[in-house]
């Protein structure tokens, strides 16, 4: 149905308004990331940011003096949210835990205004510089902290947070049994939240690209070596793959294929040297090598039980192929689909909590409908990149790379419908949209 003259006039005036972003939006983004070691506080910042973003949208709309985002940025950020959120809602009918599936979908509505806020943070050149530089500084600080832990056994940042926790609540950040069981570098996140390798790998493009822009090849080499060591000692093999992708893409653009191959060879020798000094790392490398045996048990052991989990995920897909077993219902559905219920699992006691792989998580928990919606979201994001101007691509490159390696399907993953990793992924998606479809360097 064609627009009336009044509607066309209003649309024209709205499109003519400048994209202003919001000067406080970068502060919310950086606070959210900096507080990841304290998930409860990070969630509070996310909720507060969502409310603040929604309020700012209404104020700007009523004043009519500008726009937080461009029209395409509004559309793409909302579409990516829908591609993530709609599968949750569609998975509720027939879910193994209907109440939880509905509760998750209701709670995740807060992500929509937060996505708008994050995209607005990088919608202008000033906001983009503040946000990306701030993220690079946070990653650098966490890298230095982890290097100190490698040298001394203590993470200064986590120790400081732990002392504050003792002062205010009478107990530490982690239980004693978690500290005793820690078998990998934990850094600022602590031994009870052993995700340092994955987090650093996913966020590394912000530091590596910033170091290359400011200090050239030397800066990139130093940043890559430092973050690479932290990711390696973090012990998460999914993090190794993620960081290898980041290093390959950023290094290929900066060094070319031949010099990058030489750097990669030196990296292999450095990793071998680190393994010789770290029994824990050596053990993980030996478990990884077990996959080369070709034996099913060896592969499952190398994957820390993932093969068993993936077989169970396939069973869940077969039992409910259209809309899945329900978001976050993997734990409840696992016992009925466990292919070896009499054998002790490689991951320890209890059922598997999620599929540990993006495609299998989506298929098992949200079915074919969920996968189609995720693919539609991915197609829209790729299309936006394809048709963007070269200058827009350049300014969005750190966020694009961080998002791409985080959802890289040929890897293992944390749960994308969990509070922590879902928040990380949607943050990166919003940074990508806002920086790609925001104003250029000559505007703002």
CB 369 within 8 Å of CB 87: yes
| Span 373-419, pLDDT tens digits | 999 999 999 999 999 999 999 999 999 999 999 999 999 999 999 99
Give the pLDDT confidence score for residue 166 in this predicted structure.
85
Give the pLDDT confidence score for residue 11 in this predicted structure.
44
For residue 335, give Cα distances in angstroms to 97, 158, 313: 14, 36, 11
C-alpha–C-alpha distance, residues 142 and 129, integer Å: 20
**Backbone dihedral angles phi then psi of residue 262, each to the nearest 5 degrees:** -65, -45
87-97: b or e for each residue (b if 16 or more CB lie within 10 Å)?
bbbbbbeebbb
Chain centroid offset of residue 265 CA = 28
C-alpha–C-alpha distance, residues 150 and 304, integer Å: 24
C-alpha–C-alpha distance, residues 230 and 301, integer Å: 24
Structure tokens at 213: 């822009």
| Span 342-357, pLDDT tens digits | 887 877 777 888 999 9
CB 142 within 8 Å of CB 151: no
How confident is the model over 38-56, as a mean pLDDT? Answer: 90
Give the pLDDT confidence score for residue 296 in this predicted structure.
55
């Amino acid at each position: 149905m064609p627009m009336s003259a009044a509607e066309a006039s209003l649309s024209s005036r709205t499109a003519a308004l400048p994209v202003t972003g919001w000067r406080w939006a970068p502060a919310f983004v950086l606070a959210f990331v900096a507080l990841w070691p304290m998930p409860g506080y990070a969630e509070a910042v996310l909720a507060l940011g969502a409310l603040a973003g929604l309020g700012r949208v209404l104020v700007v709309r009523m004043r009519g003096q500008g726009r937080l985002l461009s029209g395409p940025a509004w559309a793409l950020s909302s579409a990516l949210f829908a591609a993530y959120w709609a599968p949750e809602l569609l998975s509720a009918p027939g879910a193994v835990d209907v109440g939880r599936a509905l509760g998750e979908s209701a709670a995740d509505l807060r992500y929509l205004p937060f996505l708008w806020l994050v995209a607005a943070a990088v919608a202008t050149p000033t906001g983009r510089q503040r946000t990306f530089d701030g993220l690079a500084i946070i990653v650098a600080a966490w890298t230095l902290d982890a290097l100190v832990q490698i040298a001394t056994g203590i993470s200064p940042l986590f120790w400081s947070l732990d002392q504050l926790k003792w002062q205010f609540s009478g107990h530490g950040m982690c239980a004693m049994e978690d500290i005793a069981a820690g078998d990998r570098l934990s850094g600022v996140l602590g031994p009870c939240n052993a995700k340092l390798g994955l987090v650093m790998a996913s966020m590394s493009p912000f530091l590596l690209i910033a170091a290359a822009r400011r200090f050239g090849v030397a800066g990139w080499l130093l940043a890559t070596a430092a973050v690479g060591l932290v990711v390696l000692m973090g012990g998460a093999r999914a993090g190794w793959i993620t960081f290898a992708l980041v290093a390959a893409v950023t290094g290929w653009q900066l060094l070319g294929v031949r010099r990058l191959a030489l750097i990669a060879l030196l990296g292999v020798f450095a990793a071998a040297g680190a393994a010789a000094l770290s029994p824990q790392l050596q053990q993980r490398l030996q478990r990884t090598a077990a996959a080369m045996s070709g034996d099913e048990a060896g592969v499952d052991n190398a994957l820390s039980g993932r093969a068993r989990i993936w077989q169970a995920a396939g069973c869940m897909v077969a039992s409910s192929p259209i809309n899945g077993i329900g978001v976050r219902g993997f734990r409840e559905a696992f016992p009925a689909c466990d292919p070896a219920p009499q054998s002790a699992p490689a991951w320890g006691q209890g059922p598997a909590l999620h599929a540990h792989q993006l495609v299998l998580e989506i298929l098992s928990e949200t079915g074919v409908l969920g996968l189609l919606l995720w693919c539609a979201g991915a197609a829209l994001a790729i299309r936006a990149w394809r048709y963007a101007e070269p200058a827009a691509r350049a300014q969005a490159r750190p966020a694009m790379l961080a998002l791409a390696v985080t959802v890289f399907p040929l890897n293992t993953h944390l749960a994308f419908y969990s509070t922590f990793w879902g928040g990380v992924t949607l943050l990166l998606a919003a940074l990508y949209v806002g920086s790609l479809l925001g104003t250029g360097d000559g505007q703002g």
